[in-house]
Structure 1
Amino acid sequence: MPPRLKRLFGVVLLLVFVFFYIWVMTDVGAVVISRAEGPWRMLYFALAGIAWIVPAGAIIWWMYRPRRTGP
């Protein structure tokens, strides 16, 4: 895959992932917030706010990984 096309695909994939992640975490958060007490709410938001970094980092790493050539 050409590098420019790979990066374009990666950006679209990253945007779709972030949108979907926010949607799911918001719905889950609505349930968690309604049932949890203060410290558990803060823990949920801290984990939900950090957890997206690993998959997003993997997508970015894939986008900028050099293309292999040769055997």
Structure 2
Amino acid sequence: MPPRLKRLLGVLLLLAFVFLYIWVMTDVGAVVISRVENPWRMLYFVLAGIAWIVPAGAIIWWMYRPRRTGS
């Protein structure tokens, strides 16, 4: 796959992932977490705010990974 196409697909995938992640995490936070005490709410949103980094990093790593040559 040409590098420019790979990066374009990666950007589109990353945008779709981030929007879906935000939507799911805010819905979960609004429905489930709203029933618990304030410290647990804060912990949820801190963890949810950090957890997207790992999958986003994997997408970015895939986008910029050098193409293998050879067999």
Within 5 Å, which residues of 2 pair with 1:37-56?
Answer: 37-56=37-56
User: Equivalent residue for 2:61?
Assistant: 61
What's the C-alpha RMSD, in Å, of the aligned pairs? 0.8
What fraction of aligned residue pairs are identical, expressed as a percent?
89
Q: How many residues align?
A: 71
Shift of 1:66: 0.1
In the TM superposition, what is the alpha-carbon distance from 1:14 to its structure 2 partner?
0.1
Matched, 1:27 2:49: no
Q: Deviations over 1:16-63 (max 9, x none)?
A: 000000000010010234201011011101100000000000000000
TM-score normalised over the length of structure 2: 0.96
Runs of 4+ in 1 over 3 A off after TM superposition: none
After TM superposition, the score normalised by the length of structure 1 is: 0.96
Within a 5 Å distance, the mapping from 1:6-25 to structure 2 comes to 6-25=6-25
Q: Distance in 2 between matches of 1:29 and 1:23?
A: 10
- SS state of the match for residue 13, structure 1? helix
Distance 1:34 1:41 in 2: 7
